[in-house]
Amino acid sequence: MDRFGAWWWSSVIAVLLLGLEANAQLSSSFYSSTCPNLTDIVRNVIQSAVANENRMAASILRLHFHDCFVNGCDGSVLLQGGEENAPPNQRSARGFEVIDSVKSAVESACPGVVSCADILALSAHESVTALGGPSWTVVFGRRDSLSPASVTDVSANLPGPGFTALRLIRSFQNQDLSPRDLVALSGGHTIGQAQCFTFRARLYNGTAGDSIDPALKSRLEQNCPPSAPNGDRNLENLDTSPATFDNTYFQLLQSTQGLLFSDQQLLSGGQSELASMVNEFAGDQQAFFTAFANGMVSMGNLSPLTGSSGEIRATCRSSN
């Protein structure tokens, strides 16, 4: 091996070791001595918020997803005046005030200790379990970004409701997440609601390769007319049991009743591997729960700031 080859391999190994070291610093016991009641504190706030509005569980889960998919799980999506203004977030990211309440409660008990990135990861877990979803081991030790991601980074990394199956696969591959992670994490759409602007194109413009149940299309058109004052923000349930975390989402895809084009693409997008997993999860809720939990762990490990990187913000919504 020549000198350049040796240098190249040593550089690759160094990068891999740095990644392993960062993930190794994440631990379920990270706050065991500095904030031992963290889970109970977060659970109390989240359960209260979800009891007040069950849609909030989906909103908190989505915030965690949007945080991790753009430059890693670093709490940057929570910063004011930053990536919240990017098109994928501007009209639909919500739940910030709940995270503020969680952070306030945590700071009262454990000041200056717990990062907003970790609070968001744990809040997503508590939101899912509050509606009957699966549990997984949440690991901690993430630190907060000093600045938000750029609008360009947000738009380039977040998959959209108009994505085809192939674009979805590539989007997840770019995050080192598997097709199984893609299908399972998409199942998070078993809770919550979506605004009309996310699926209106399916109703009136038509989308190549789309499949949508005619009765569903007709019903959606009544709530989402072609043009109406503020009609973009009218809400539709993502599945027929939006307050229960279950596998109904996948069963609806089997009858072409997925709300978003990207949802239905998992079954109808010509990718047999994805379709097979949709059918598996439709018939086996436990298989879905296991895959979803595994996917959440993998997603939560995306490029965390650890050690002396970043900071521990006192207020999650601090202005950039």
CA 98/CA 109 separation, integer angstroms: 17
Question: Is beta strand 193-195 parallel, antiparallel or unpaired with respect to 235-237?
Answer: antiparallel
- Output b/e per residue, 133-148; b: 16+ Cβ within 10 A: bbebebbbbbbbbeeb
Scanning the structure block, which residue is given the tokens 């004052």?
A: 229
Q: Which two tokens stand for residue 174?
A: 């770019």
d(CA 194, CA 235): 6
Q: Residue 288: count other Cβ atoms within 10 Å of its Cβ.
A: 26
In whole angstroms, what is the distance from residue 273 CA to residue 141 CA? 35
Name 75's Cβ contacts closer than 8 Å, sequence gap at least 6.
Answer: 67, 115, 116, 117, 119, 120, 142, 144, 145, 313, 316
Measure the CA–CA gap between 92 and 233, rounded to whole angstroms.
Answer: 9
Cα separation, 207 vs 219, in Å, equals: 18
What is the C-alpha separation between 264 and 253, in angstroms, rounded? Answer: 6
Q: Is 125 assigned a catalytic role? A: no
Strand ranges, E, within 14-161: none
Please report which helix (H) or strand (E) contains residue 236, including its range: strand 235-237
* Active-site hit among 64, 66, 125, 189: 66
Catalytically active residues are 66
